[in-house]
Chain A
Amino acid sequence: MPLLVPATLIVLVFLAAPLLILLRYSFNRFVPGQFMVEAFTLENYAKFFTDPYYFAVLRTTLLMSVGVTLACIVLAFPLAQVIARASPRSKPMLIILVIVPLFIGNAVRAAGWMVAFGQKGLVNTALAGLGIQPVTLMYTPAAVFFGIISVNLPYVVLTLQSVLEGIDAHLGEASQSLGAGRFETWRLVTLPLAMPGLIAAAVLSFILTMNAYATPLLLGGPQFQMMAPVVATTILSQNNWPFGASIAFILMVVTLCLTAAMNLIVARRYGR
C-alpha cells in the first residue's frame, strides 16, 4: 500500500488539482480588461448552449469523431487481421510499419498534409499532370477527416490486432467445419470475440478525435472549428479563462458520457 503513495500524489498534484482549479475557473465571471472576477455563476455554460456558433462547434466535433472512428474501424480491421495471421517472420516487420507513423508528431504530420493538399501541392500537381482541374483540399472538412484518420489508424490497428491475435485459430476452423462460410465465420465467431478490442479501439479513436488539436487547426483553416482549438483560442487569444474552462469541461463530460454509453450498449448487445 505505501508503494501507491507516490503515484497517488502525482495524480493528485498534476491531474486532479489542475482539473479542479479549471472547474472553479469555469464558474468565474469574465470582465474584459480584468483577468477574471471571482464569482459563482453558470453564465459561461449558458453562453455555450445558447450561442448557435458554439453549439455548431460541438456538433462538428461529434460528427467528425463518429465519422473518423467508423472509418478507422473499417479500414483497420482487415489490416489488423492480416497482421494477426501473418507468419512469425513477417509479423514484426508489419507491426513496425504500423508504428513508424507514430514517430511523427501530429503537427509535423499535418504540415506534411498541407504540402500535399495545397493548391500547388502534390495532389494538384499530379492532377494537373493528368490534365485535371485542381481541386480545393486544404481547409476543408475532408482534409481534417483524412488527416485525423491518419493519426488514429495506427492505434486502432494495433489495438484490434492484439485482440484478434488472442482468438484461437481453431475456432474459425471449427466454424467452417460446421458449415459456416468465410464471411459467416467472421460475423459469428471473429467479430463477437473481437468485440472487446473493437470497443477499446473505437473509444480510443473517439477520444483522440474529440480532443484533436493540431490537425483541425492546420488542415481545417479559420472557417472550420472543433472543440479543442476553440478552447485554446478562447483562453490564449481572448484571455477568457472562465469561458475556455467551461468549454473544456463540456468537451470532457460529453466525451466521457458518450464513451460510457457506447460501452454499455455494446456490452448489452453482446451480453458480457
Chain B
Amino acid sequence: MATLRLDGLGKSYGDVTVVENVSLDVADGEFLVLLGPSGCGKTTTLRMIAGFVEASAGRVLIGARDVTGEPPYRRNIGLVFQSYALFPHLTVFENTAFGLRRRKIGEAEVKSRVERALALVRLDGLAARYPKQLSGGQQQRVAIARALVIEPDILLLDEPLSNLDAQLRIEVRSELRRLQKSLGITTIMVTHDQEEAMSVADRLVVLQSGRVQQVGSALDLYLRPANRFVAGFIGRGNFLEGVALEAGFRSAQGTVFPCGAPAGSVGTLLLRPEHVGLHRQQGHGMFAGRIESVRFLASSFDIAVVLAAGDRLQAQLPATPGAMRENWQAGDETFVAIDPAAMTLLQNDTGHADLNSQNQKGVSP
C-alpha cells in the first residue's frame, strides 16, 4: 500500500504521441479511474505504470521509490487484465498461489493466504478447479484474488468488467469497490464506461488523445467540467454556441439565457437535459417552444424541444406519475424552465480545437 505519482509521463511511437505529459498524484488507498474514449491512451498509461511499456518521458514513483526503470517483476504491482489471463494449466489454488511462491513464502502461509484471498472474493470451495471450469465472473474474481494476495503496493485493472454481462458487471463492480475499501489498497482502474467509472471511483481522470482533460470527483466533473469534452463525457449535455452579454448568454439563434458570465466572452453554454423543465403554462423566465419528439425510456422521457428562436434542446424528465399524466406529445406547445444556477458557460479557449468539434450537434450520448 502506497501512494503513486506520475510525473510528466509520456509515450510516443515514432512521431505519434499516444500519451502526453500525464502528471497525477494518487493518494494512499484511493480508487482512481482512468476514463476516456477508445484509443485515448488508457491502456498505454496503465502499462507504463506496470512496466510493460517503456515510458518515453517522465517518471513513475511508488511511494518514494522511482520505478521508471524497474522491470515489471520488481514493481510489486497487482495487475488484472480484461481477458483475466489466468494460467490455464494451473488450478485456481495454484493460480492464486503463483505470486506467493515467487516470493519464497512457506507452504503453510501460502495455503492460509490463498484461502483467505479466495474467501474474500467468495470463491472458497473452487480452489481445485481449472480456469476453464469456471464462469466468466468466477474467472474474473480469481484474477482479482491472484492480484490481491501478493499484497501489492498498487492494484491496476484494465477494463476488468467488460467481458461480463450487464447484471454481473454491476455485482462485481460493487464487490470490487467494497474489497478495495476494506483492504485500503491504492487502485487505478481503466474503463470507457462512465457509469462504471462514477460508481467505483473516488476520483476520475478524463483522458482524451493522450492528455488529461480533468481530474476530480464525479460530482466535480459533472458540476464544473473543464471543457466541452468532459461535459459530454460525464453525463449528457445540450451545447449552445454563442456569446456572453450583460443580460446573459445569447445563443447563435438569438435566445438569451440569464446566466451570470463575464460579458464579451465567446463560449458554449452547457445545459444538462435533466435540468430542463417543461411546463404547460408560461411562467417567469421561461422560454416558449414546441415539442419535437418524445421517447419513453422506462425510467425517463427523452424529449426534444425547439425554442421559438430555433434552438434545439433535449430534456430528460423522470418518469414520475406526474410526467405520465402530463403525457407530452410531439407538436405540443411548451414552456421551458431552466434554473440559471444550472447554466454552465464553457470557455472555448481550452486550447484543444478538436474538443469542440466532437459534439457540435445538440446532445452527446
Q: With A174-B87, A193-B88, A270-B89 given, is the CB distance from A179 to B102 under 8 Å?
A: yes
A192 surroundings in chain B (CB, below 8 A): 89
Pairwise interchain contact B73-A272, C-beta atoms closer than 8 A: no
A171, CB-defined interface residue at 8 Å? yes
A188 surroundings in chain B (CB, below 8 A): 98
Pairwise interchain contact A178-B98, C-beta atoms closer than 8 A: yes
B72, CB-defined interface residue at 8 Å? yes
- B51, B74, B78, B89: residue with the most chain A Cβ atoms closer than 10 Å: B89
Mark contacts of A172-199 with chain B using CB atoms, 8 A cut-off: 1 yes-contact digit, 0 otherwise. Answer: 0111111111001100110011000000
Q: How far is the CB of A178 from chain B (nearest CB, A)?
A: 3
Pairwise interchain contact B89-A179, C-beta atoms closer than 8 A: no
Q: Which of A170, A173, A175, A270 contacts B98 (CB 8 A)?
A: A175
- Cα distance A143–B79 when bound, in Å? 51
A168, CB-defined interface residue at 8 Å? yes
B81 surroundings in chain A (CB, below 8 A): 170, 173-174
Pairwise interchain contact B87-A171, C-beta atoms closer than 8 A: yes
B296, CB-defined interface residue at 8 Å? no
A179 surroundings in chain B (CB, below 8 A): 73-74, 76, 99, 102-103, 150
Pairwise interchain contact B72-A177, C-beta atoms closer than 8 A: yes
B119, CB-defined interface residue at 8 Å? no
Mark contacts of A4-34 with chain B using CB atoms, 8 A cut-off: 1 yes-contact digit, 0 otherwise. Answer: 0000000000000000000000000000000
- Cα distance A170–B159 when bound, in Å? 14
Pairwise interchain contact A168-B89, C-beta atoms closer than 8 A: no
A173 surroundings in chain B (CB, below 8 A): 50, 52, 72, 79, 81, 85
Number of A-B residue pairs, CB cutoff 8 Å, is 62
Pairwise interchain contact A189-B87, C-beta atoms closer than 8 A: yes
Q: With A170-B83, A171-B85, A193-B88 given, is the CB distance from A177 to B77 under 8 Å?
A: yes
Q: Which of B51, B88, B89, B99 contacts A178 (CB 8 A)?
A: B99
Q: With A170-B83, A184-B102 given, is the CB distance from A177 to B89 under 8 Å?
A: no
Q: With A192-B89, A193-B89, A272-B89 given, is the CB distance from A168 to B83 under 8 Å?
A: yes
Mark contacts of B49-68 with chain A using CB atoms, 8 A cut-off: 1 yes-contact digit, 0 otherwise. Answer: 01110000000000000000
B211, CB-defined interface residue at 8 Å? no
Within 8 A of B (CB), among A218-271: 270
B78 surroundings in chain A (CB, below 8 A): 177
- State how many residues of chain B have any CB contact under 8 Å with chain A: 26
A270 surroundings in chain B (CB, below 8 A): 89
Q: How far is the CB of B26 from chain A (nearest CB, A)?
A: 18
Pairwise interchain contact B83-A177, C-beta atoms closer than 8 A: no
A189 surroundings in chain B (CB, below 8 A): 87
B146 surroundings in chain A (CB, below 8 A): 174, 178
Within 8 A of B (CB), among A20-75: none
Q: Which of A170, A180, A193 contacts B73 (CB 8 A)?
A: A180
Mark contacts of B82-125 with chain A using CB atoms, 8 A cut-off: 1 yes-contact digit, 0 otherwise. Answer: 01011111000000001100110000000000000000000000
- Cα distance A185–B101 when bound, in Å? 13
Pairwise interchain contact B85-A168, C-beta atoms closer than 8 A: yes
- Cα distance A262–B133 when bound, in Å? 28
A170 surroundings in chain B (CB, below 8 A): 81, 83, 85
Mark contacts of A146-188 with chain B using CB atoms, 8 A cut-off: 1 yes-contact digit, 0 otherwise. Answer: 0000000000000000000000101101111111110011001
B85 surroundings in chain A (CB, below 8 A): 168, 170-171, 173-174
Q: How far is the CB of A5 from chain B (nearest CB, A)?
A: 37
- Cα distance A185–B72 when bound, in Å? 12
Closest to A180 in B: B102
- Cα distance A181–B50 when bound, in Å? 14
Q: How far is the CB of A256 from chain B (nearest CB, A)?
A: 28
B340, CB-defined interface residue at 8 Å? no
A180 surroundings in chain B (CB, below 8 A): 73, 98, 102
- Cα distance A272–B75 when bound, in Å? 34
B285, CB-defined interface residue at 8 Å? no
Q: How far is the CB of A88 from chain B (nearest CB, A)?
A: 15
Pairwise interchain contact A177-B79, C-beta atoms closer than 8 A: yes
Within 8 A of A (CB), among B1-59: 50-52
Pairwise interchain contact A177-B102, C-beta atoms closer than 8 A: no
B73 surroundings in chain A (CB, below 8 A): 176-181, 185
- Cα distance A150–B78 when bound, in Å? 44
B50 surroundings in chain A (CB, below 8 A): 173, 177
Closest to B75 in A: A177
Mark contacts of B117-144 with chain A using CB atoms, 8 A cut-off: 1 yes-contact digit, 0 otherwise. Answer: 0000000000000000000000000000
- Cα distance A170–B147 when bound, in Å? 14
Known: A170-B83, A179-B76. 14 other contacts (CB 8 A): A168-B83, A170-B85, A173-B72, A173-B79, A175-B87, A176-B73, A177-B50, A177-B75, A177-B77, A178-B73, A178-B146, A179-B73, A188-B98, A193-B89
Give 10 CB contacts A-B under 8 Å. Answer: A170-B81, A174-B79, A174-B81, A174-B87, A176-B51, A178-B73, A180-B102, A188-B98, A192-B89, A193-B89
